[in-house]
């Protein structure tokens, strides 16, 4: 979608820099991948990420439903603004540093055909964490994963593809795959916050009690459970790759790299003997660079097969 008014992203350079600092601090994986995008598309991704991060912080750091309510109100104001200039004029209070996120987001909404519903859905998912209940089934976990991560895939699609409406399903699959990866990486961290995201039915299937989870890789049944969940995540990654031909050519490498780097977290955990209780596993920087190269190679090979 073409902007209704001309936007010079450089006029908002400090706002986008503020958003980039947030993604650099909280997700080196995503920054490594999406920094390869064309400059303004990268900036737009940073703005979306910063919005998502602030919603996450409202729950995990502040435990404050009012902060989420305020974000929902801000988003509704942005949606209801009568013109592009009205959208930009909403956020002129430099006394609040997070106004930078909203200004950058306003520029992104003006420039790309972003849908508002996925942004509201993400806030709904964060509200679920405020009154957390362990999912009973894999279906419930999938529903939750849409709200907190699949929704992000839908947020980003219009930035990454001119055919976003045709690839909604694989975008949601990629978001769910990444969320399930987070859950498998953060079992120990979540336990310390009193949360278990692994479904009750799946725990029972592997005869793992909630109290057993803190023993982690000391239990063979824990490893079997972890591998079962990892297989689901990996199948979602593989299914999501079907959208790559409909991703804009200048965005394919970054999106594929992001997926490969995140998927690699599962391999790192395996190599570290399933140590996820007391240590947060990360993909080494050198391996990330190798995966960037792998993304280039995979796309080049796909082009050769088509031609």
Cα dihedral 200, 206, 208, 213, rounded to 10, equals -90
Q: Annotate 119-176 with DSSP letters as a single string.
A: HHHHHHHHHHHHT----SSHHHHHHHHIIIIIHHHHHHHHHH-TTGGGGHHHHHHHHH
Average the pLDDT over 290-304 and give the result: 86
Euclidean distance between CA atoms 47 and 201, whole angstroms: 38
φ/ψ of 247, rounded to 5, equals -80, 140
Residue 173 has pLDDT above 60, yes or no: yes
CB 106 within 8 A of CB 88: yes
**Mean of the per-residue pLDDT values for the chain?**
92
C-beta separation of 9 from 16 below 8 A: yes
Classify each residue of 243-278 as buried b or exposed e, where b means 16 or more C-beta atoms within 10 Å of its C-beta.
bbebbbeebbbbbbbbbbbbbbbbeebeeeebebbe
Domains detected in the chain: 9-119 (1.10.600.10), 132-301 (1.10.600.10)
pLDDT of residue 90: 81
What SS3 state is found at 232? helix
E strand residue ranges, 157-254: none
Per-residue DSSP letter, 264: H
> Which residue has 């089934």 as its token pair?
137
Helix (H) or strand (E) holding 159: helix 151-160
The per-residue pLDDT for range 47-61, each reduced to its tens digit, is: 999 999 999 999 988
Total residue count of the chain as it appears in this document: 307
pTM of the complete model: 0.91
DSSP state, 64? -
pLDDT in tens, 133-171: 999 999 999 999 999 999 999 999 999 999 999 999 999
């Amino acid at each position: 979608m073409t902007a209704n008014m001309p936007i010079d992203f450089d006029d908002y350079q400090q706002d986008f820099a503020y958003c980039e600092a947030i993604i650099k601090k909280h997700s080196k994986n995503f920054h490594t991948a999406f920094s390869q995008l064309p400059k303004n598309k990268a900036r737009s991704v940073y703005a979306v990420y910063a919005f998502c991060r602030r919603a996450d912080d409202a729950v995990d750091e502040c435990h404050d439903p009012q902060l989420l309510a305020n974000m929902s109100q801000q988003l509704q104001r942005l949606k209801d603004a009568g013109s592009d200039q009205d959208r930009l004029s909403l956020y002129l209070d430099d006394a609040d540093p997070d106004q930078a996120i909203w200004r950058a987001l306003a520029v992104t909404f003006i420039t790309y055909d972003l849908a508002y519903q996925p942004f509201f859905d993400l806030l709904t998912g964060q509200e679920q964490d405020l009154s957390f209940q362990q999912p009973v089934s894999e279906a419930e976990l999938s529903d939750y994963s849409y709200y907190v991560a699949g929704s992000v895939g839908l947020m980003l699609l219009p930035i990454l593809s001119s055919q976003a409406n045709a690839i909604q399903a694989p975008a949601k699959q990629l978001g769910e795959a990444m969320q399930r990866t987070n859950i498998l990486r953060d079992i120990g961290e979540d336990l310390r916050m009193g949360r278990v995201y692994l479904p009750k039915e799946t725990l029972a299937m592997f005869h793992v009690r909630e109290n057993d989870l803190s023993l982690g890789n000391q239990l063979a049944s824990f490893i079997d459970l972890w591998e079962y969940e990892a297989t689901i995540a990996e199948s979602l990654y593989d299914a999501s790759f079907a959208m790559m031909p409909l991703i804009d050519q200048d965005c394919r490498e970054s999106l594929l790299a992001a997926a490969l780097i995140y998927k690699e977290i599962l391999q790192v955990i395996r190599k570290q003997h399933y140590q996820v209780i007391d240590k947060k596993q990360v993909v080494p920087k050198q391996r990330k660079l190798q995966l960037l190269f792998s993304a280039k190679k995979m796309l080049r090979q796909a082009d050769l097969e088509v031609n």
